[in-house]
A and B are shown apart, each in its own frame.
Chain A
Amino acid sequence: MPKGFYSTLIAITAFTLIAVAVAWGQSSESGSSRAVREAPGEFQFVRLAYSANRYGRGGWGRRQMWQTDWPDAEHHFLKGVSRLTRVAAAEQGRILTPLDDNIYDFPWIYAVEVGYWHLNDQEAARIREYLLRGGFLMVDDFHGTWEWSSFVASMQRVFPDRPIVDIPEDDEAFHVIYDLDQRIQIPSRMFIYSGVTWERDGYTPHWRGIYDDAGRLMVSINFNMDIGDAWEHADWPDYPENMTALAYRFGINYLIYAMTH
């Protein structure tokens, strides 16, 4: 070995580790914990960075499940909100963990692939408090019996005593801005290749929810569908435009509902 090879290797390794650590730190700061003093808009799309079960953890270059569709889904959706409503929406989304104190500054949060989430008691208590204070949670993109049971397991830690019910057809959530009378399963992009709209055994879409004591929807549960994919691939020519439009409409209705009820 040339003279000084090891010392150079150690220096490069140390430098790389420091750089990675700094980058990681900056990334996590920008994602969650920095104090939010100045808001870029009235509505900011917040993606919930939840704790996942052992099947939902990322690793070796794979994204974590809560990151699914990020960042194009919110980027496209926010543009749609600005174009189609009078909501002053921020251009960029934001990522927060359940235990981030800043979560109370954002009364609307979005969680994806919640079949893989695993909320501990502390996180569940935080989500419960957030929702009872007036926050709104939209969950999306989970399919089949197994993911449902996994979702419910954590949700019951949030609200042990509140049932999950089908949202009635006449609920304002389906009419506040668009009358969403048709129940069409919004598929993921895999539909383009496979031609099927379902995943696993989630053949039938369900629009479910959890209500507060005053009859207001706190959690909208979009089961056996993938609204996030429809937002994300809104600019993809092969993805059905009508599915994207419908996904926008559901998202906007949930948002306007959350801002009015």
Chain B
Amino acid sequence: MFEFLFKYPRDDYARSELIYTGDWPPWLLALLIIAALAGISWFLYRRRDFARPPQMLAVWLLQLAMLAVVIWLLQQPTLSTEQLRAGENVVAFVLDNSESMAYGESESRLQQAMRSLSATLADDSSLELSVQHYELADRARLVSSFLESEASGTGTSIAASLTDVLREARFSPLAAIVLSSDGADTTGGLSFSDLAEIAGFGVPVHTIAVGRESIPEDIELTDVMLPNRALPGSTITARVSIRHDAAASTRLKVYNGDDLLESLPVDLQPDTKNTTVWVNIKLADAGHHHIRFSVDGIPGEQELRNNSRSTLVEVADQKYRVLYFEGEPRWEYKFMRRALNDDEDLQIASLLRVSPNKFYRQGIESPEQLENGFPTTRDELFVYDALIIGSVEAASLTDEQQAIIHDFVSERGGSLLMLAGPNGLGNGGWGQSRIADVLPVRLPPSTTNSFFRKKAAVVLTPQGADEQMLRLADTADASRKLWSKLPEVADYQVTGNLKPAAVTLLQVMTDIGQLPLLITQQFGRGHCYILASGGTWRWQMSMPVEDQSHETFWRQLLRAMVAHAPNRISLTASGDGGSTGVSLRAEFRDDAFRPIDDISVTAIVTHQDGDSWSIDLLPSVDEPGVFQADVSPTASGNWYFEAVAERNGEPIEVARASIHYESGQAEYFNFRRDSLALQRLSEATGGRYLEPDELDALPDLLRYSSSGLTETNHRAIWDAPAVFLLLLLLKGGEWLLRRRWSTI
């Protein structure tokens, strides 16, 4: 209808500019308008006795409108449209041929994509576009045609591949890119900077989405998170995420090598697409453990390779050091030390002020340790992974010592635990100290007593219930039951308002309502905790001697604290078998945890079969003391890395890491169609996102592309039927009105 009335399709009007090609001089037009106005006015004035003024006004307006249309037509309105010059432009057809494109039922995604691209050109041969064919996987590859294309790419990097195409074609008249893909990117997706870089070339990218966003017959182990280091005999918790598009029942199994560690039934609910399962794993022996997680396939599932993930956990005999600074003898001190006594991986050195003039040291490794009281230098304090400050006044430490504690958390990455007490937290003036910034709360002033020796029951918050360090039993339900049966703590302290990043894990039920008991927040590289009670010892004294709740609480809290603390030297290896390989990141700091920059770092890369080579790590531009490199493993299996820091040719430090790598496995995961990524790509570049049934629009999108070599096409619209219809309506309307008023 639009095209009938206005001569051309609506899209033509949208992409065109309205111009006037009439060559009448403006003065002549103005003279004509004035003359016509005067003529109409004089004509109506002569007939003023035949009609009332409103009727005269209506007729005057209609005749004026008629006159305006005629003058507009005299200007010869014309559509000016930019369109590609026939036979002079190039279009890049990009076919995603990564392994995820092999997925499908009767027709694979790759076949869908090839069909859609070939149909694009077949529909309109008048385009006369020169077509370049590219295959897209981890990088783009120019091919003569798609006839021999196979879904064989072991990774998908849309950003890198498109950048390849755009750079290769920057000297040719590239009109557009047509990408047919499932959008499943194995590099983590398209970032804003990726989109900005691609859009910067000014070439529209039209995307054709293939595949399904929802695959009810498939479940996938999307992620497994667990520490890559553990202490011998410790229990680590793995968070396993399962993606599913429908309700199903499966079983999660965990293997250590060939030994089955755990087998849990998992019900996948219909009201969510992601189910998270927590599994506790106990690793007794030191060494590298290949831990494999696997979920059983569901009926009809085709892709079983994404039902399993592996990781390597290093169990090391590392000792963690904790300094406990306490201002008065009290039961919490005694019972905490007893609870941690049997944990051989934690070395608790404590400095207890027993009398106004005497400190008592326990757990020291040499007579010199803490001989002069609380550490006064960074080197002295930073050897510890965690620091506990009990019921002691802030004023008992100097400004410099408080500043060192601040840096201990923010720079060294240590964990700080502040305990309640008559001289602790707010009462001790810590809210006005140099470490007030580090704390997760705004402590009340020391002028107001905030410590109360009243018993209070403890309750888990929802966040606390999810926190592994507060698990008193193997399962969450059993743990919750134990928490609900714990005796009251002997005392509590009001902590003040929480800071925005603070998380409350435990609360106490007091006369004045529920108050935070265990609070934590990250600060800089480290973490700060507040335990607003000095009375958890009642959990030991009020429960049977066989009960281990008190011991478990303190061991797990301290272990979580030290686990957060980074080592002075570290090497991390990350990568899941995607196209980017394995990223190595080494960090070297001195005894005061200041970054070391005057070194060169080389990593020795070794496969489990013995293949080995070395690679240089380059200094990070953004992070002092950090050295990075990407490694491309040549085979699946366990890989071991050893980063050697050298100064003047002499090795000074060594850091080690390991990883389990499965080559190409990234394509099996996260392979559902990512429509959103393709939409964002098209929107950012001025292209169009198309479903397979919208391909009819593609020829016109290419013809009128804003990129490439274009020409201007002028099309007159003065003879559009709508114009004549308008003239007819104006004149016919006037005639009908005058006839009704009997003025004709």
Interface set of A (CB-CB < 8 Å, partner B): 37-43, 84-88, 104-105, 107, 129, 132-135, 176-177, 214, 216, 255-256, 258-261
Instruction: Judge whether B360 and A260 touch: CB under 8 Å.
Output: yes
B528-542 to A contact mask, C-beta < 8 Å, 1/0: 000000000110111
Given contacts A39-B453, A107-B334, A176-B360, is CB(A134)–CB(B354) below 8 Å? no
Are the CB atoms of A37 and B455 closer together than 8 Å? Answer: yes
4 A-B pairs closest in CB distance: A86-B328, A259-B329, A39-B453, A132-B545
Q: Which of B328, B337, B352, B541 contacts A42 (CB 8 A)?
A: B328
B454 x A85 contact (CB < 8 A): no
B273 interfacial contact with A, CB 8 Å: no
Is residue B356 within 8 Å, beta carbon to beta carbon, of the partner chain?
yes
Partner of A104, one of B360, B362, B452, B541: B541
Q: Does B541 lie within 8 Å of A105, measured CB to CB?
A: yes
Among B337, B360, B455, point to the contact of A256 (Cβ < 8 A). Answer: B360
A86-B356, A107-B334 given; 14 more Cβ-contact pairs under 8 Å: A38-B453, A39-B491, A40-B453, A87-B329, A88-B328, A88-B330, A105-B490, A129-B545, A133-B543, A133-B545, A134-B541, A176-B354, A260-B354, A260-B360
CB distance from B416 to the nearest CB of A (A): 22
Residues of A within 8 A of B327 (CB): 86
User: Is B634 interfacial (CB 8 A cutoff)?
Assistant: no
Considering the complex, which residues of chain B in the window 521-572 have a beta carbon less than 8 Å from any beta carbon of chain A? 537-538, 540-545
Point out residues on B near A: beta carbons under 8 Å. Answer: 327-331, 333-335, 337-338, 341, 352-356, 358, 360, 362, 422, 452-455, 490-491, 537-538, 540-545
Assess the B355–A84 pair: CB atoms within 8 A. Answer: yes
Name B355's closest neighbour in chain A (CB-CB): A85
Majority SS of interface residues in chain A? loop
Q: Is the CB of A135 within 8 A of B491?
A: no
Given contacts A37-B454, A259-B330, contact A214 B341 (CB under 8 A): yes
* Distance of A259 Cα from B329 Cα, bound (Å): 6
Once the chains bind, are B541 and A256 in contact (CB under 8 Å)? no
Set of chain B residues within 8 Å of A259, measured between Cβ atoms: 329-331, 333-334
In Å, the complex CA distance between A258 and B334 comes to 8
Give Cα A243–Cα B341 distance, bound, in whole angstroms.
36
- CB pair B544–A129 under 8 Å, yes or no, is yes
Chain B CB within 10 Å, residue with most, of A42, A129, A255, A261 = A42
- The 8 Å CB contact of B354, one of A37, A43, A104, A177, is A177
- Judging by beta carbons under 8 Å apart, are B329 and A86 in contact? yes
Residues from chain B with a CB closer than 8 A to the CB of A104 are: 538, 541-542
B538 and A105 form a contact (CB under 8 A) = yes
Which of B358, B362, B537 is most buried by chain A, counting CB atoms within 10 A of its CB? B358
Specify which chain A residues have a CB less than 8 angstroms from the CB of B545 in the assembled complex.
Answer: 129, 132-133
Chain B residues near A88 (CB-CB < 8 A): 328, 330, 422
Instruction: For B362, list chain A residues within 8 Å (CB).
Output: 260
Q: Shortest distance in angstroms between B536's beta carbon and chain A's nearest beta carbon?
A: 12
Which residues of chain A have C-beta atoms less than 8 A from B337's C-beta? 260-261
Nearest A residue to B338, CB-CB: A134
Measured between C-beta atoms, what is the minimum distance from A133 to chain B in Å? 5
Closest CB in chain B relative to A261 CB, distance in Å: 7
Cβ contacts under 8 Å, A37 to chain B: 454-455
Q: Enumerate 19 A-B pairs (CB-CB under 8 Å) in ascending A order.
A: A37-B455, A38-B454, A39-B454, A42-B330, A42-B331, A43-B329, A86-B327, A104-B541, A104-B542, A105-B541, A107-B334, A133-B541, A133-B544, A133-B545, A214-B341, A255-B329, A256-B329, A260-B354, A261-B334
Known A-B contacts A107-B537, A129-B544; the reply to A260 vs B352 at CB < 8 A is yes
Distance of A134 Cα from B333 Cα, bound (Å): 12
Tell me the bound Cα distance from A129 to B453 in angstroms: 25
- Give Cα distance in the complex from A119 to B98, angstroms: 81
> What is the minimal beta-carbon distance from B27 to any residue of chain A, in angstroms?
102
